[in-house]
Amino acid sequence: MTTATWTSSGHLLGLEDLGRDQLFSLIDEAEAFLPIVRGTVPGDSMLEGRIIANLFLENSTRTRVSFSIAAQRLGGRVVDLLGSTSSASKGESLVDTAANIAAMGVDGIVVRCSDSGGAALIAEHVEVPVINAGDGRHEHPTQGLLDLMTLLQHFDGDLSGKTIAIVGDIASSRVARSNLWGLTAAGANVILVGPESLVPGELTSIVPREPGRGVVSISHDLDAVLDSVDALMMLRIQFERHDGDGIPEDYRERYGLDIARADRLAGGVPILHPGPINRGLELAHEVADGSRSLILQQVTNGVAVRMAVLAGLLASNR
């Protein structure tokens, strides 16, 4: 295994600093792991003897389990340290928790935390690779990568000029921010859709305007964009981050993707969701489980992406 070509820091903290070539290189590596994920070929042993610590101080199912399966498919071992059972619940700082874990001899730390920039802070204080599994409202880079991978698969490897709508609680979404960097780097234009209270206007300028990069725009009317999009990514309403504020009572009627709205989409327009889904709110059952849905494909791709990240950062450190 050669040293990862998509990072110069030895960590994966976000997609902001990755260019198109780096993103596509990482996704190519993930594609190569798909046969292992699908069980059509045996797992690899490139992480044999390696121990990965999953430091998850926020709740997670898909991401944490996905990293665990990815590590095990590569022959590594995983230690899960969850918020309720770690010393962080006793008031220990994020850096102290991570530094102590690193001092025990782990080979890498996967971290999810509520502090934006928390993963980068840990990376400054430990000597092992750090992978950001979601930090506050900042980024969720592996989710952005698996979403990009899924859309590239659907559109035969080319997103140039495609229009992707991201719908929902943009204000709370680290997934949306990683997707802004990843999708626009691949040449796609992104429309952020939702009520004014959930779509910060400053996000239109977060991504620089440069040749080959897509642009970001905002719409507060889902019905107005349905006829012009090439893909829809629905986001979960993160009630836990709002304390009941900022979510319109008529959200489902204005922004929920029901059967009638899905039927208005052009043929071939796929629907994605990072999960978990508030069924009946963001997505109707029939839409989430329908022929347009790429949700389970996203989950499969998530394991392959995390295998590529772990292999690139840890296997090359032998």
The Cβ of residue 279 has, within 10 Å, a number of other Cβ atoms equal to 12
Residue 158: strand, helix, or coil? coil
Catalytic annotation present for 112 = yes
Tokens, residue 208 = 């620089």
Residue from 50, 140, 236, 273 carrying the catalytic annotation: 140
Phi, psi of 36, deg, nearest 5: -70, -45
Q: How far apart are CA 213 and CA 16, in angstroms?
A: 13
Alpha helices in the chain (DSSP H): 20-37, 62-73, 94-103, 118-123, 141-154, 174-185, 222-225, 251-255, 259-264, 285-288, 295-314
Report yes or no: 214 and 189 within 8 Å, Cβ to Cβ. yes
Which pair of structure tokens corresponds to residue 289?
């489980």
Please pick, among 112, 162, 174, 213, the residue that the annotation labels catalytic.
112
Catalytic residue among 11, 50, 63, 162: 63
Residue 211 identity (one-letter amino acid) = P
Q: Among the options 62, 220, 241, 242, which is catalytic?
A: 62
Q: How many angstroms separate the most distant Cα atoms in the chain?
A: 55
Q: Rounded to whole angstroms, how far apart are CA atoms 53 and 108?
A: 6
37 Cα distance to chain centroid: 18
For residue 140, indicate whether it is catalytic: yes
Q: For residue 110, what are the CA distances in angstroms to 15, 101, 243?
A: 16, 11, 28
Q: With contact defined as beta carbons under 8 Å apart, do 31 and 304 qualify?
A: yes
Active-site residue, 63 included: yes
Task: Give the list of residues 6+ apart from residue 231 with CB closer than 8 angstroms, or none.
Answer: 151, 154, 162, 163, 164, 165, 269, 270, 271, 272
Q: Which residues are catalytic?
A: 62-63, 90, 112, 140
